[in-house]
Chain A
Amino acid sequence: MKNRKAEEFIGFIILRICIGFVLLALLIILFDIVKKGLGVISWEFLTAMPRNGMTEGGIFPAIVGTFFVTVITAILSIPLGMGCAIYLNEYARKGKITRLIRMSIRNLSGVPSIVYGLFGVVLFVQLMRLDTSILSAGLTLGLMTLPWTITASEEALKNVPQSYRDGALAVGATKWQAIRTNVLPYAIPGMLTGTILGLSRAAGETAPILFTGAAFYIPFLPKSLSDQFMALPYHLYIMATQHHAIEKVRPIAYGTALVLIVLIFCMNFFAILARYKLRKVKVE
């Protein structure tokens, strides 16, 4: 008996070490970036153009570029993703086509980001003649986020009780009326939560925008959607590996990493908080 207790004790310690390692990894990542990045952050860093071959100045154009690209991503992936989720959860019947759609979505979410980049180069940059631009990059990221948006939106739709639909149908509403008045109003907050999580991941992606529009250095803000742009993740990549004075720009790289992480965390935090609040409301 004693042996088994001891065995259990040791076993649980091993499991605790496992989770300890995972949390430690995260802690190290955050600690290092916050510690070395915080000193660089200033109003000037956030709002000024890069100067002197990007060894001084700020990262303003990269922030603006990331913002615009994320907007394009949202414009493509939110309506399409929600539409697909509504089809799957409200209209689709069990059958071959539905299975095919679900299988495609799961596989799309596993396609490597660099492959999306290749796809974007051929489809948007070359075939659609959008050239390397905010539009090409945003559309590429939009396709990449699509499976995440669909999955999250469907989850939100599933959480709306079936009785809501039945109630509307019972008083003579058509299917679409039932969905519009009795399903969507309750599902949309949850759909947005999941969508924001997806967008935050898109905002941090580098590989798909490498060849579809991100630029090394542009000393002015993009004027239209067909301009090339600077983006935070790409800027960090350049600062970490491609710059001619890598050691000198290390602080800027840390600052960029911190801004990128904070941006993504804010989006995540907002989304998770919304989900938490919504879940509470439902329980009450």
Chain B
Amino acid sequence: MQISMVNRKRNSWISNSVKEKLIHGFFFINGIISVFVLIGIFALLVFTSFPAFSEINMKEFLFGLEWNPTSYVKEVYGIVPMLVSTLMVTLGALIMAIPLGVGTAAYLSDVARPSTREIAKPIIEILAGIPSVVIGFLGIVLVGPIIAKIFGTHNGLNALNGSILLAVMALPTIISISEDALNNVPNSYNQASLALGATKWQTVIKVKIPAALSGIIAACMLGMGRAIGETMTVLMATGCAPAMPESILGPVRTLTSSIAIELGEVAYNTTHYYALFALGLVLFIITFLVNMTSDIILHKYEKVNR
């Protein structure tokens, strides 16, 4: 066998070490591609939105209170209404999703029996797999009418509807990462607390959740990132009026849904078209910052526990 190995080595037209280097290089290229994709997305967004600012005043864009690119009198591009809408819907979603998500994570990690956990976890994964367009559809046919009935609005397509749906969509992220964080708390914390006579509940609330807090915060921020970037649900369920939002029961139009609505109608390479890419750039930067922050928190947290 050894002889055959040697023979093969001699016969091959390319030496083994060169071949190994080529293979290494090949996989390195595969690895580095993700960096290029991220940079590519950012670069294309910057280059495509850049021409917009030859006609739009940057200050007007960032602080303008009105977005009306198809006006006959004067086109105005102000993103504040959309920023406020996005913020409103996302905050509403987090107010519902964080307590529910962290509670569920605590239940799964500390209260549930292993058998219950085995069943509950795949079920929550199923929730994560439901497409956003289906959730948005249910916002129209299910949540909308209920909201309309309770609050007596003419239809239930408003910020509240969007918040409820986004909460459902952010839950799986918040639950699974919070649960990981809770499970990563060293068992000795748990045992020490119980040995001192604390109940299991006191241990969960006063020892485990504080110890896992950075992980839980990171989980919530990831959920927030998902909610900010979610398109179809808010597009379908929030009514999409492009004005400054008045209340949680009024229609709102987020950054994402503005892009989705207007990009289909606009002609390529017009100021309006470029402005939509500028919206995309703003969205990219916001979610990038949110994700980076959560990433840094998670990273720190990993180091502490090691």
- Chain A interfacial positions (CB closer than 8 Å to B): 4-5, 7-8, 11-12, 14-19, 21-23, 25-26, 28-29, 32-33, 80, 83-84, 86-88, 90-92, 97, 100-101, 103-108, 110-119, 121-123, 126, 143, 146-147, 150, 172, 174-176, 197, 200-201, 204-207, 210-211, 233-234, 236-237, 240-241, 250, 253, 257, 260-261, 264-265, 268, 272
Asked if A123 meets B236 with Cβ closer than 8 Å, knowing A18-B100, A18-B107, A201-B129, the reply is no
Asked if A80 meets B230 with Cβ closer than 8 Å, knowing A29-B130, A115-B284, the reply is no
B291 adjacent to A106 (CB under 8 Å): yes
Identify 5 residue pairs between A and B in the complex whose beta-carbon atoms are under 8 Å apart, listed by A's number.
Answer: A18-B104, A19-B112, A22-B100, A29-B138, A110-B229
B251 to chain A, nearest CB (A): 14
Stretch touching chain A among B52-60, B67-75, B199-207, B242-250: B199-207
Find chain B residues with CB under 8 A from A101 CB. Answer: 31-32, 34-35
Kindly report which residue of chain A lies nearest to residue B205, judged by CB atoms.
Answer: A11
A260 to B28, CA, bound (A): 37
A122 adjacent to B232 (CB under 8 Å): no
Find chain A residues with CB under 8 A from B256 CB. Answer: 112, 114, 207
Given A22, A26, A207, which contacts B260 in the complex, CB threshold below 8 Å?
A207
List residues 1-39 of chain B with CB under 8 A from any CB of chain A.
5, 16, 19-20, 23-24, 26-35, 37-38
B127 adjacent to A22 (CB under 8 Å): yes
Given A23, A28, A33, A86, which contacts B134 in the complex, CB threshold below 8 Å?
A33
Given A29, A80, A174, A240, which contacts B30 in the complex, CB threshold below 8 Å?
A80
Closest 3 CB pairs of A and B: A112-B229, A204-B131, A18-B103
A86 to chain B, nearest CB (A): 5
A150 to B249, CA, bound (A): 41
A11 adjacent to B134 (CB under 8 Å): no
A90 adjacent to B129 (CB under 8 Å): no
A215 to B31, CA, bound (A): 34
Kindly report which residue of chain B lies nearest to residue A125, judged by CB atoms.
Answer: B268
A8 adjacent to B104 (CB under 8 Å): no
A23 to B103, CA, bound (A): 13
B94 contacts chain A at the CB level, 8 A cutoff = no
Find chain A residues with CB under 8 A from B171 CB. Answer: 22, 25
Find chain B residues with CB under 8 A from A32 CB. Answer: 138, 141-142
A88 to B31, CA, bound (A): 7
Given B16, B101, B112, B127, which contacts A26 in the complex, CB threshold below 8 Å?
B127
Find chain B residues with CB under 8 A from A264 CB. Answer: 129-131
Find chain B residues with CB under 8 A from A265 CB. Answer: 126, 129
A28 to B165, CA, bound (A): 13
B277 contacts chain A at the CB level, 8 A cutoff = yes
A115 adjacent to B45 (CB under 8 Å): yes
Kindly report which residue of chain A lies nearest to residue B199, judged by CB atoms.
Answer: A8
A-contact bits for B179-207, CB 8 A (1 contact / 0 none): 00000000000000000000111101100
B225 adjacent to A5 (CB under 8 Å): no
Given B44, B133, B287, which contacts A206 in the complex, CB threshold below 8 Å?
B133
A-contact bits for B264-306, CB 8 A (1 contact / 0 none): 1000100000001100100110011011100100000000000
Find chain B residues with CB under 8 A from A91 CB. Answer: 24, 27-28, 31
A272 to B260, CA, bound (A): 33
A122 to B280, CA, bound (A): 12
A89 to chain B, nearest CB (A): 10
Find chain B residues with CB under 8 A from A26 CB. Answer: 123-124, 126-127
Find chain A residues with CB under 8 A from B252 CB. Answer: none
Asked if A119 meets B103 with Cβ closer than 8 Å, knowing A22-B171, A26-B127, A175-B20, the reply is no
